[in-house]
A and B are shown apart, each in its own frame.
Chain A
Amino acid sequence: MVLTVLGSLFKKPATIKYPFASFSMPDHFRGQPKFDSSKCIGCRLCIRDCPSQAITITKVGDRKFEASIDLGKCVYCAQCAETCPRKVIEISTDFELAQTDRGTLKITFHAQPASGACPDDSAEPART
């Protein structure tokens, strides 16, 4: 034991200075869900299957839907992404989602104007 312990003096530490050193999750990590309103057909299957009632879908116009996902409630199970028949919801690997305000955890993905032709939500989702 003594030798191993002394040996680790010369090893690189296993820990990192986390918020200062960057850390990322593996590719298949289930992080924050992202919603692409241009594809949504409003079937609301995701709402039915969500175990924590984190999703709300509201109709904002003809065949236009926007979703708001409460990250404080979300359990990151990715069931919504699986249930969705149009693959509207995608799971990203983002995991640093902490906020000091509960309200900002609720993210609304606004519908893009039809002419916008901006399929992915490159615009920063609004935090309501």
Chain B
Amino acid sequence: MSETETVRIELETKFPFLAGAVRVQRERRLWIKAAQENCPQVFEHLVKGLGFSNLCTITGLDLGAELGFIYHLARDGGIMANLEMRCPKGQSIRTVTPLFPGASIYERELEDLLGAKVDGLPPGPRYPLPDDWPTDEHPLLKNWKKKEPSEPDAGTASGAASAPTSAAPKGETSNE
């Protein structure tokens, strides 16, 4: 039996509620779906019990009424466990910084771009949006529309630069 399968079986025996929620996509790729209240214990077991000691990143998803969070965890040997959980918009999730101090930057990104609320995040500057960006604008939400740029020529750069305000040598920076 492959190592990936072993991890799957181990998880499903330890946490009965995960039965059927662990999917082996291919060798070395695990997808785990957990309810929000179960997520912290599964996460901790993955990190401490199963040795997934490397948090690659946290992906945030806009799923309409809910926000999705995928914790991409990796361990030696190349297995990657992707722990997905959902949380209704407006509710807050718990930080993982006690286990991964480096994760603060990923969580700040979730806060800025998706409007997620993360409890227990140590204070620090925001990331990645500028300090004068309005705090209720979260560009990665699907219903977020860019404000019309005040300069006539910026509109042509559809999407990519989605610049709501303008000043500075803009448009020309065209990073499309």
Contact = CB atoms under 8 A, between A and B. Distances in A.
Interface of A: 51-53, 72-73, 75
Interface size grouping (class) on chain B: under 10
Query: How would you classify the secondary structure of chain A's contact residues: helix, strand, loop or mixed?
Result: loop
Contacts of A51: 176
A53 B158 contact: yes
B174 A73 contact: yes
Contacts, number: 10
Interface string B143-168: 00000000000001010000000000
Question: Main SS of chain B's interface residues?
Answer: loop
Contacts of A53: 156, 158, 176
Contacts of B156: 53
A48 B156 CA distance: 15
Most buried by B among A51, A52, A72, A75: A52
Nearest to B159: A53
Task: Give the top 5 A-B pairs by smallest Cβ distance, nearest first.
Answer: A52-B176, A53-B158, A51-B176, A73-B174, A53-B156
B148 to A, nearest CB: 18
10 contacts: A51-B176, A52-B174, A52-B176, A53-B156, A53-B158, A53-B176, A72-B174, A73-B174, A73-B176, A75-B176
